[in-house]
Amino acid sequence: MVDLYCEALSLSLDRDELVSECCFLVSEAIGTSPENISIFPNATYAVNELALFLKGDRKVYLTDSEHSSNHAIWVTQYKNVSFLVHQDLINQPLSSEPSIYSLSLMSNLEGKSISLSAIEEKFKNTSHTLVLDATQYIRNHIPLPKRADYLFFSAHKILGPNGIGILYSRESNPELGLGILSMKSRPDYELDLCALYAWNKAFPLILEDLKQGISKEQELSQYFLSNFPNNEYVELVNTNSEGGIFLLQIKQEGLSSHDYAFYLAKNNVIVRAGLSCSWISSERYDSHKVFRVSLSPENTREEIDFLFSLIKKFEILDCF
């Protein structure tokens, strides 16, 4: 029934009007012009188009804990790719040759952010192309880019599983995605119009509630960090997490993170086992031993306490 409603709604929606409205809403929020905003089916779609548009012989630098789907296009389409440790990004020297830096503002795996202003200051007066992934970052900050050449994020991080990717370009580019300057030249470019309609209608409310949501998530994160229980089987790795993302590691020999995730799932707690979101991080973490717990402002202390109670009472036989 919902699919039929969405299909009927799509037929009544004007794509170009929705695109224009979205470009104006987002540009106002991040302090730029509507012409600098482009819309895509999702964030990975955006970075794929961008990487193909920029393609050349330049070296590419990526952060090691970025989402694997956003790494893939660079790794497969560019010959010279290097990875930087996200945690030490500000202190690492820049290349002497003009390069592309595609950097995540917040680690998808560890919940650790880098300052937007600090990273832009680092690239000030350089000839490098700076691409910033704000997909995780936007859950905790509204980005206001100045030096970045490109910045992208996904609407689903702050409005559920809706397929919308947003790309900011410092210099407006009608060849990327769908925006005010490209609507006429790209008549066949398809978007989820129902998702775009919902995003536009909800966006003012999202901005209004974002500060409260950030405060609530920070409170829950601090509660999680302060009350994580001592136990025999798992340990908390990223005790400095900022984004409601917690990386847990199995201490017991012969026990895998997938075993533990299965135990939690049987008790209605869903976590993400392994490094499927960030395969490059396997140089630092054993994919068979780690799993990720994510919080949102909609979670409660009682739910965290329930997870902790499961951790406290876990026994090996619970995996079977």
CATH, residue 82: 3.40.640.10
- Asked whether residue 294 falls in the same domain as residue 201, the answer is no
Tell me, what's the pLDDT at 120? 93
Q: Determine if the pTM surpasses 0.85.
A: yes
| Percent of the chain clearing pLDDT 70 (strictly above) | 90
Q: How far is residue 18's CA from residue 94's CA, in Å, rounded to a whole number?
A: 40
| Percent of the chain clearing pLDDT 90 (strictly above) | 52
Tell me, what's the pLDDT at 289? 93
Tell me, what's the pLDDT at 1? 45
- Asked whether residue 17 falls in the same domain as residue 124, the answer is yes
Show which of 208, 233, 257 is a domain's final residue: 208
- Asked whether residue 157 falls in the same domain as residue 272, the answer is no
- Asked whether residue 77 falls in the same domain as residue 150, the answer is yes
Q: How far is residue 177's CA from residue 167's CA, in Å, rounded to a whole number?
A: 8
- Asked whether residue 266 falls in the same domain as residue 119, the answer is no
Give the residue with greater pLDDT, 64 vs 154: 154
Show which of 151, 180, 208 is a domain's final residue: 208
CATH number where 247 lies: 3.90.1150.10
- Asked whether residue 217 falls in the same domain as residue 93, the answer is no
Tell me which residue range forms the domain holding 259. Answer: 211-319
HSE-CB for 259 with a 13 A CA cutoff: 19
To the nearest 10°, report the CA torsion of 138, 140, 141, 147.
Answer: -60
To the nearest 10°, report the CA torsion of 65, 71, 74, 75.
Answer: 90
- Asked whether residue 160 falls in the same domain as residue 235, the answer is no
Handedness of CA 63, 118, 148, 199 (dihedral sign): positive
List pLDDT tens digits, range 1-25.
445 445 555 567 899 999 999 999 9
Paired strand residues for 40? 165
Tell me, what's the pLDDT at 11? 60
Judge contact between 135 and 67, C-beta under 8 A.
yes
HSE-CB for 298 with a 13 A CA cutoff: 6
- Asked whether residue 112 falls in the same domain as residue 181, the answer is yes
List pLDDT tens digits, range 293-305.
999 888 999 999 9
Show which of 182, 208, 234 is a domain's final residue: 208
Give the residue with greater pLDDT, 268 vs 276: 268
- Asked whether residue 226 falls in the same domain as residue 143, the answer is no
Handedness of CA 255, 261, 264, 265 (dihedral sign): negative
Please determine, for residue 251, whether its predicted confidence score (pLDDT) is greater than 90. yes
What are the backbone dihedrals phi and psi of residue 66, each rounded to the nearest 5 degrees, phi first? -70, 160
- Asked whether residue 183 falls in the same domain as residue 234, the answer is no
pLDDT grade for 274, boundaries at 50, 70 and 90: confident
- Least confident stretch, 128-142, 216-230, 302-316: 128-142
State how many domains the chain has.
Answer: 2
- Asked whether residue 190 falls in the same domain as residue 151, the answer is yes
User: SS3 helix, strand, coil % of the chain, rounded to 5?
Assistant: 40, 15, 40
- Asked whether residue 41 falls in the same domain as residue 131, the answer is yes
- Least confident stretch, 9-18, 56-65, 100-109, 230-239: 9-18
Tell me, what's the pLDDT at 240? 86
pLDDT grade for 107, boundaries at 50, 70 and 90: confident
Of 127, 155, 125, nearest to 41 by C-alpha is: 155
